[in-house]
Amino acid sequence: MDLLPNLFFSFILIIAFYFFISNINKLYKNISLGKSTNRYDNKKRRILNMIRVAFGQSKMRAKPVAGILHLIVYVGFVIINIELLEIVLDGILGTHRIFAEYLGELYNYLIASFEILALLVLISVVFFWIRRNILKIERFWKPEMKSWPKKDADLILYFEFVIMILFLLMNSTDSLLQNNNYEGYIKAGFFPISDFLKPLFVSLDISSIFILERLFWWMHIIFILTFLNYLYYSKHLHILLAFPNTYYANLKPKGMFDIDMNITKEVKLMLGIENSDNINNEVPDKFGASDVFDLSWVQLMNSYSCTECGRCTSVCPANLTGKKLSPRKIMMDTRDRLEEVGSNIFKNKGKFVSDNKQLLNNYITKEELWACTSCNACVEACPIEIDPLSIIMDMRKYLVMEKSEAPLDLNNMMSNIENNGAPWPFNNQDRMLWTKENN
């Protein structure tokens, strides 16, 4: 028995998983740069939320056709891992369809279902490509979706298309070798789709078919391993992060914002509600957020989880009325800045060296932040419960409390509240004068 192919396959597998684990480690380190936040409560509710939103894809129902096709691709991804496990074992051990011996007749039905699913995935991928590149649905052609994001979206579709085609070609040539009792190829599997591809190969001699089967087999697994390592650089990272992202999602009612106890203590102190001796006089380093270091690890994970589908931007009232704000861009900018910071730390051996840049101004402008109506439409629309609004509000807090750079109307309102106890520019002693005017 020639062990060289098995050793070569094992070597490729080790290399691929080494890079994959390295990227996951890099991802973990970058997310860990965020501040701590408590998302460990209500474990049962969080698990149910993850099952409903990530596994059940409940929020995809808002667009039924795309939702069903996305479900097909999602199931295809899950099922293909069963097929991938068999390929890996065959590659390491030098076997052929190792699961057939243990699954018996069930194996035939499994292979048949894989093939039908592969065909449905191909149809779905073509549909998604047409939507993006021919129908040009508006949310896929926003300003932030140019250059790499546009190429990335298409590359993913090409990857999925090629992987499924190679799977069917591999099965078609494998079936021909089985029918010819080729050495090492046991008769196993039912091939309802790849049988239609057999006319492409029946005129070839058996040795040529064997070479093609091996070629398709190797290309199939190499494309899968390449795709696995491409995930980190792609919006498709949500395949992995959708599950923790929905588990650690904010379970509070929409529109309910966290209370900053440091601000509460300051206000109570000013009003004389609490004795200053009973207050923790520790001053926070910064109010709000101006860079990724100031955001929580959940917000940073959100940025990596973003699918760039644009559902958030398509329902944003600010964006719909022509303003600069795009919630999708907020998440993409946060991820880009986090990647930049992570690379900086890696190059400088674990220490961040100032690059005179930050998330605010260099990536996200004040105009974008103040365009937000804080309506939560973007949070409600996201298929995996990403929260762009929390980042916007934290950055607004920084502008107001650290830089005093709120819009003029808002500054006037806050000054009126401070001086008059109301948003209006009228002395509080004159509030009831309107009643006399109406008598």
Both 227 and 376 in a single domain?
A: no
Query: Is 57 inside a domain boundary?
Result: no
Both 191 and 275 in a single domain?
A: no
Over residues 254-263, mean pLDDT = 81
Query: Is 430 inside a domain boundary?
Result: no
Say how far apart CA 153 and CA 150 lie, in whole Å.
Answer: 5
Both 268 and 395 in a single domain?
A: yes
Both 227 and 324 in a single domain?
A: no
Last residue of a domain, one of 247, 282, 308: 247
Query: Is 421 inside a domain boundary?
Result: no
Both 198 and 107 in a single domain?
A: yes
Q: Mean pLDDT of all residues in the chain?
A: 89
Q: Identify which of 12, 28, 9 has the alpha carbon closest to the alpha carbon of residue 228.
A: 12
Both 239 and 309 in a single domain?
A: no
Per-residue pLDDT, 274: 64
Over residues 247-256, mean pLDDT = 90
Last residue of a domain, one of 213, 247, 281: 247
Over residues 358-380, mean pLDDT = 95
Both 175 and 319 in a single domain?
A: no
Higher-pLDDT residue of 298, 411: 298
Higher-pLDDT residue of 307, 418: 307
Q: Is residue 357 pLDDT above 90, yes or no?
A: yes
Per-residue pLDDT, 260: 80
Say how far apart CA 189 and CA 178 lie, in whole Å.
Answer: 10
> Per the structure, how many domains does the chain have?
2
Residues of the domain holding 313 = 261-406
Would you tell me how many other CB atoms lie within 10 Å of the CB of residue 361? 10
Question: Ramachandran region of residue 275, left (φ > 0), alpha (ψ -120 to 50) or beta?
Answer: beta
pLDDT band at 34 (very low <50, low <70, confident <90, very high): very high
- 121-130 per-position pLDDT tens digit: 999 999 999 9
Written as six digits, the tokens of 41 are: 């409560």
Query: Is 53 inside a domain boundary?
Result: no
Both 98 and 239 in a single domain?
A: yes
Per-residue pLDDT, 261: 80
Strand, helix or coil for residue 355: coil
Per-residue pLDDT, 71: 83
Both 26 and 83 in a single domain?
A: yes
Say how far apart CA 386 and CA 295 lie, in whole Å.
Answer: 14
Higher-pLDDT residue of 81, 228: 228
Over residues 316-331, mean pLDDT = 96
Owner of token pair 């709000």? 288
Say how far apart CA 269 and CA 273 lie, in whole Å.
Answer: 6
Over residues 126-150, mean pLDDT = 92
Query: Is 202 inside a domain boundary?
Result: yes
Both 158 and 268 in a single domain?
A: no
Weakest-pLDDT range from 248-262, 318-332, 413-427: 413-427
Per-residue pLDDT, 279: 53
Higher-pLDDT residue of 278, 343: 343
Would you tell me how many other CB atoms lie within 10 Å of the CB of residue 350? 7
Query: Is 42 inside a domain boundary?
Result: no
Last residue of a domain, one of 215, 247, 279: 247
Both 230 and 128 in a single domain?
A: yes
Query: Is 158 inside a domain boundary?
Result: yes
pLDDT band at 278 (very low <50, low <70, confident <90, very high): low
Written as six digits, the tokens of 90 are: 């065959």
- Secondary structure in 3-state letters for 178-210: HHCCCCCCCCCCCCCCHHHHHHHCCCCCHHHHH
Which residue stretches of 32-99 are H helix? 43-50, 64-93
Per-residue pLDDT, 145: 92
- 150-189 per-position pLDDT tens digit: 999 999 999 999 999 999 999 999 999 999 999 889 999 8
Query: Is 314 inside a domain boundary?
Result: yes
- 12-26 per-position pLDDT tens digit: 999 999 999 999 999
Q: What is the pTM of this model?
A: 0.88
- 372-422 per-position pLDDT tens digit: 999 999 999 999 999 999 999 999 999 998 888 888 888 888 888 878 778
Both 266 and 195 in a single domain?
A: no
Give the CA dihedral 306, 307, 311, 317, nearest 10 degrees.
Answer: 30
Which segments within 314-367 are labelled E, that is strand? none
Q: Is residue 280 pLDDT above 70, yes or no?
A: no
Q: Is residue 276 pLDDT above 70, yes or no?
A: no
pLDDT-above-90 percentage for the chain: 65
Q: What is the CATH number of the domain that holds 290?
A: 1.10.1060
